[in-house]
Chain A
């Protein structure tokens, strides 16, 4: 460890009090804003159109009426899957296939004799099955509530409307009693905990990775600045190699990134009840954060090594970060993406980092379960650094 290099980095940071303050303030502001946005998205009133599949096994006046009403709602993009020769109970795989192939958030299945069962009273009425992907915690939670209330309302209207003269309004339940039941089924497995906790945890991981990428791209700019100022030439003339110089930068940026993400999660824990200190969460979080910070810092240095000016770096890094974040799930949940996009996302380290954080905070996975994510992140970090050193050495020789 070269103390002089570290001293120069630390003193430069300490001298710039605004940058020092921003190290702690920015994560908090960034986290708060992104969480607020996510919570806004989670609000059913502000929700964008949801692709909802419907399978009508009953094909009755009542179900047709409900589906018509659903289609009339601007919140839903209803895809009628009744054309599919489905007249039997769907098994798990078929449910998954239907959801995945049709890019649906959920499928509402109206069972046979649905209408008939409603007319005999709500307590014995057959429920509408809502097949949902609970790996998408935000959408599934909101959608289920919207559908539950919507379907109940439409069914009540159907019972009361003249469109169903054979049903007596008296058959409808009294005030406060549900007319129809919605039975939620998790297509891909069990869901987890409270929605608020899940959305915050999801937001924290996505925000952390996105934040790290931008922060490290900014840090990478100091390399170009030092090169322009002739400091690099002076450092190299003093006998320090390019590899040594970049290695110290990498370590310093990683430490700063780790501190920033930790600040972000501690803030999330204090203010947004993120379960940072539960079980193995803290250790898993630290391992994932260190690996992610190493990869992000290496990417920042890699981009800086490729660029010849700060302007270039700003442009290129913005594009790279936005693309990586969009594909890798930092901006939009990967579970909303098509299979092709999900595969493409695996070439970004965002996806691996988010998967790791998901394992820690959502799936309660043990530390060993993080090995694939940690291995990929560290491998990417080494690749980025290797290329950065090679490019910098080549440039210095010229």
Chain B
């Protein structure tokens, strides 16, 4: 897959605050890239820069092909529910479709598609202030993609929604990506980034400190580590893997740097100590572990 947008050396300062500090990022065709980071890390500034709402102090944003974030190229879904609450669902779609140069039959067809895509057809003629947050969020996304842009930029698209609505939104985004649209979403929900995205870019202090698929990030950050959780029926007579037992001695939580060598050793030790194993879990570290590892210097600060 080729790049559709490439950001190089992006620098943006607001007064004394450096929002973007030599940020480099690529968004590929038909992929979903999650931009994760703490509050104030530079996620929203990156989104605003891509869609042309702010000018960079230095650096470049290159579009392929072409070089401008024009309306047909780019669809923005702001973090807020950026809709007119007194208007119905259809009226909101008409307004924002109209703002993006959709007219007549094309607009009507796209509205029909959007209502079907979001599953909101049944309530389309009600003022949206009567809708649930989850429904409003879906319409919020629909208004940003109505004009079929090549890239959709979503800023915290599932903020304040219930798990069911969140699931629905993820399905919508997968459909959108499968139809060939590139998606850049910002989130601080790491589980959302894991599930909904093809690649993850971790942004910290205005620059991307790691980018790739989850497995790549884990390997690059933590090597071939595995996490092991061993639960025992009773405490062991002698310690296994120093300092990793729970206070009651029934749970052992350890990171295995070389699973093939260390796991048999652990099991043998438990057997020798007369332990009875209730359960054993082995897994690779999740995004949260990677994120905390990569940004721990910030937490220290």
**Neighbouring A residues of B74 by C-beta, 8 Å:** 237
* A190 close to B (CB within 8 Å): no
**Neighbouring A residues of B80 by C-beta, 8 Å:** 228-230
**Residue pair A238, B82 in contact (C-beta under 8 Å):** no
Complex Cα spacing A19 to B142, Å = 29
* B51 close to A (CB within 8 Å): yes
**Residue pair A4, B127 in contact (C-beta under 8 Å):** no
Contact of B99 among A4, A229, A398 (CB under 8 A): A4
* A343 close to B (CB within 8 Å): no
Q: How far is the CB of A55 from chain B (nearest CB, A)?
A: 66
In the complex with contacts A8-B87, A11-B91, A15-B127, A238-B78 CB distance below 8 A: no
In the complex with contacts A4-B98, A397-B54, A398-B14, A239-B70 CB distance below 8 A: yes
Contact of B78 among A7, A8, A16, A230 (CB under 8 A): A230
Contact of A397 among B55, B78, B91 (CB under 8 A): B55
**Residue pair A11, B95 in contact (C-beta under 8 Å):** yes
* A234 close to B (CB within 8 Å): yes
Complex Cα spacing A2 to B98, Å = 9
**Residue pair B52, A231 in contact (C-beta under 8 Å):** no
* A235 close to B (CB within 8 Å): yes
**Residue pair B82, A230 in contact (C-beta under 8 Å):** yes
| Tally of contact residues, B, Cβ under 8 A | 33
Contact of A4 among B48, B95, B144 (CB under 8 A): B95
- Per DSSP, are chain A's interface residues mostly helix, strand or loop, or mixed? helix
**Neighbouring A residues of B95 by C-beta, 8 Å:** 4, 7-8, 11
In the complex with contacts A3-B98, A4-B98, A15-B127, A237-B86 CB distance below 8 A: no
Q: How far is the CB of A208 from chain B (nearest CB, A)?
A: 28
* B94 close to A (CB within 8 Å): yes
**Residue pair A234, B143 in contact (C-beta under 8 Å):** yes
**Residue pair A231, B83 in contact (C-beta under 8 Å):** yes
**Neighbouring A residues of B52 by C-beta, 8 Å:** 237
**Residue pair A234, B98 in contact (C-beta under 8 Å):** no
**Residue pair B91, A230 in contact (C-beta under 8 Å):** no
**Residue pair B87, A16 in contact (C-beta under 8 Å):** no
Q: How far is the CB of A339 from chain B (nearest CB, A)?
A: 46
- Residues from 1 to 49 in A contacting B, C-beta threshold 8 Å: 2-5, 7-8, 11-12, 15-16
* A233 close to B (CB within 8 Å): yes
Contact of B53 among A3, A5, A15, A236 (CB under 8 A): A236
| Tally of contact residues, A, Cβ under 8 A | 25
* B84 close to A (CB within 8 Å): yes
Complex Cα spacing A8 to B83, Å = 10
Q: Please name the residue on chain A nearest to B107 by beta carbon.
A: A4
**Neighbouring B residues of A233 by C-beta, 8 Å:** 48, 53, 76, 78, 82
Contact of A234 among B14, B55, B82, B101 (CB under 8 A): B82
**Neighbouring A residues of B97 by C-beta, 8 Å:** 4
**Neighbouring B residues of A231 by C-beta, 8 Å:** 82-84
- Type the 1/0 row for B181-195, where 1 means its CB is closer than 8 Å to any CB of A: 000000000000000
- Residues from 184 to 236 in A contacting B, C-beta threshold 8 Å: 228-231, 233-236
- Residues from 59 to 88 in B contacting A, C-beta threshold 8 Å: 70-71, 74-76, 78-84, 86-87
* B46 close to A (CB within 8 Å): no
**Neighbouring A residues of B51 by C-beta, 8 Å:** 237
Interface centre among A2, A234, A239, A240 (most CB of B within 10 A): A234
**Neighbouring B residues of A240 by C-beta, 8 Å:** 99
* B197 close to A (CB within 8 Å): no
* A72 close to B (CB within 8 Å): no
Q: Please name the residue on chain A nearest to B78 by beta carbon.
A: A230
**Neighbouring A residues of B53 by C-beta, 8 Å:** 233, 236-237, 396
Contact of B71 among A3, A228, A239 (CB under 8 A): A239
In the complex with contacts A8-B84, A11-B87, A234-B96 CB distance below 8 A: yes
- Type the 1/0 row for A64-93, where 1 means its CB is closer than 8 Å to any CB of B: 000000000000000000000000000000
Q: How far is the CB of B140 from chain A (nearest CB, A)?
A: 9
* B100 close to A (CB within 8 Å): yes
Q: How far is the CB of A393 from chain B (nearest CB, A)?
A: 12
Q: How far is the CB of B70 from chain A (nearest CB, A)?
A: 7
Q: Please name the residue on chain A nearest to B76 by beta carbon.
A: A237
**Neighbouring B residues of A238 by C-beta, 8 Å:** 71, 96, 99-100
Complex Cα spacing A233 to B143, Å = 13
Q: Please name the residue on chain B nearest to A398 by beta carbon.
A: B14
**Residue pair A12, B86 in contact (C-beta under 8 Å):** yes
Q: How far is the CB of B29 from chain A (nearest CB, A)?
A: 21
**Neighbouring B residues of A5 by C-beta, 8 Å:** 99
**Neighbouring B residues of A236 by C-beta, 8 Å:** 53
**Neighbouring B residues of A230 by C-beta, 8 Å:** 78-82
Interface centre among A3, A16, A229, A396 (most CB of B within 10 A): A229
**Neighbouring A residues of B76 by C-beta, 8 Å:** 233-234, 237
Complex Cα spacing A171 to B51, Å = 96
Complex Cα spacing A125 to B84, Å = 77
Q: How far is the CB of B8 from chain A (nearest CB, A)?
A: 21
**Residue pair A234, B78 in contact (C-beta under 8 Å):** yes
Q: How far is the CB of A315 from chain B (nearest CB, A)?
A: 24
Complex Cα spacing A233 to B54, Å = 11
Complex Cα spacing A234 to B153, Å = 11
**Neighbouring B residues of A397 by C-beta, 8 Å:** 54-55
**Residue pair A229, B87 in contact (C-beta under 8 Å):** no
**Neighbouring A residues of B83 by C-beta, 8 Å:** 229, 231
**Residue pair B86, A15 in contact (C-beta under 8 Å):** yes
Complex Cα spacing A234 to B52, Å = 11
- Residues from 228 to 286 in B contacting A, C-beta threshold 8 Å: none
Contact of A16 among B48, B79, B82, B86 (CB under 8 A): B86
**Residue pair A229, B127 in contact (C-beta under 8 Å):** no
Complex Cα spacing A397 to B95, Å = 25
Complex Cα spacing A2 to B101, Å = 10
Interchain residue pairs A-B with the least CB separation, the first 3: A4-B98, A230-B80, A230-B82
- Chosen A-B contacts, 8 in total, with CB atoms closer than 8 Å, are A2-B99, A4-B98, A11-B87, A229-B82, A231-B84, A237-B51, A238-B100, A397-B55
Task: For the A-B complex with A11-B86, A234-B76, A240-B99 known, give 13 more contacts whose Cβ atoms are closer than 8 Å.
Answer: A3-B98, A4-B97, A5-B99, A12-B84, A15-B127, A16-B86, A230-B80, A230-B81, A235-B99, A236-B53, A237-B76, A238-B96, A397-B55
| Chain B contacts to A: CB under 8 angstroms | 14, 48, 51-55, 70-71, 74-76, 78-84, 86-87, 91, 94-101, 127, 143-144
